[in-house]
Amino acid sequence: MVKIAVLAKEVPDSDIVDAFAFAGRLQIDPATKTIRRENIAVGMNSYDAQAVEAAMRLRDAGVDCTIQVLSVGGIAPQALFQRSFALGADEGYHLVDNSFAGVDSMGCAHILAAAIRHLGGADLILCGRQGTDYDQGVVGPTVAALLDIPCVSIAKDVRLVSPGIARVVRAIPDGEETVDVELPAVVTISNELGVPRYPTAMAAFAARRKKPVTLSAADIGLDAARVALSGERVRRVEIDIPKREGTCQFLEGNSASDVAAKLAQALSKESVI
């Protein structure tokens, strides 16, 4: 039996954040140095939904596995767990503790590594390539380093080719890289994996009765001071929404060729063509 742990994070909808920022409607909370989330929907980080998908594909391929989903914090984590259960996750673990307030990526990785250890380890740890909020991409490699196991990042395909070996295709700037990695290992999933499936209505309904297990710092044997320490080392002191004044010159004309000629002229004057 292969044990798969999926790390999943709740994030504000990045399209809405973008639209708000552009419309000048995004607001900052000066106390917490975060954006105000009142009117912004939250949900599972899109890459993490793809990590769940990667786990399901392994199961579809005939891998005998248990799938655990672990998440730290969040304001409405039920949705994230319910979606995971509806897709076929067997167990959910929600990590919450007062001492987790203000954690950074490193602190979050310490929490997750401790939780994985507490749960008896995992053969394959799947996570997203980055959170769509802070775009860090730190948690996966850090969890790997803390557990002293390898990490393969930006994966578009994960298969088990023999007991204890995963074959991972990475989406790299030049195309693809295929590697064999010894398990246990962390693999971070990228959007190139493809669109994740949606749960059926029946599965979603059945999943409503399933609840994640809540674990505190003490439950997983984590020293709260350790988590606080990393929050102090990298502290956000300012947050700001860069304003952009448009100075675009719109080119108009009687026909497409007319506009095309005007643009070609303008660019040629700028010496860029």
Ligand X SMILES: Cc1cc2nc3c(=O)[nH]c(=O)nc-3n(C[C@H](O)[C@H](O)[C@H](O)COP(=O)(O)OP(=O)(O)OC[C@H]3O[C@@H](n4cnc5c(N)ncnc54)[C@H](O)[C@@H]3O)c2cc1C
Rounded least distance, CB 162 to ligand X, Å: 26
For the chain, the first-to-last Cα distance in angstroms comes to: 61
Q: Which of other proteins, ligand X, none sits in contact with 179, Cβ below 5 to 8 A by type?
A: other proteins
**Between residues 42 and 207, which has the closer beta carbon with respect to other proteins?**
42
What is the C-alpha separation between 64 and 66, in angstroms, rounded?
7
SS3 label, residue 46: helix
Is residue 259 near other proteins by the rule CB under 8 A? yes
User: Which tokens sit at 178?
Assistant: 């295929």
Q: Which of ligand X, other proteins, none sits in contact with 71, Cβ below 5 to 8 A by type?
A: ligand X
Query: Among 73, 88, 141, 199, which residue interacts with other proteins (rule: CB under 8 A)?
Result: 141
User: Which tokens sit at 211?
Assistant: 């609840």
SS3 label, residue 88: coil
What is the C-alpha separation between 140 and 147, in angstroms, rounded?
11
Query: Among 38, 178, 202, 254, which residue interacts with other proteins (rule: CB under 8 A)?
Result: 178
Strands 65-72 and 2-7: parallel
* Among 9-17, 76-84, 93-101, 116-124, the segment contacting other proteins (CB under 8 A): 9-17
**Between residues 17 and 63, which has the closer beta carbon with respect to other proteins?**
17
Rounded least distance, CB 202 to ligand X, Å: 27
Which residues of this protein are in contact with ligand X, per CB under 6 A? 7-9, 14, 32, 45, 47-48, 51, 70-73, 100-105, 108, 112, 127-128, 130-134, 136-140, 236
Q: Which one-letter amino acid corresponds to residue 257?
A: S
**Between residues 76 and 179, which has the closer beta carbon with respect to other proteins?**
179
Q: Which of other proteins, ligand X, none sits in contact with 212, Cβ below 5 to 8 A by type?
A: none
**Between residues 43 and 102, which has the closer beta carbon with respect to ligand X?**
102
Give yes or no for a contact between 40 and 16, defined as CB atoms under 8 angstroms apart.
Answer: yes
Give residues with Cβ within 8 angstroms of 183, minimum separation 6: 123, 124, 164, 165, 166
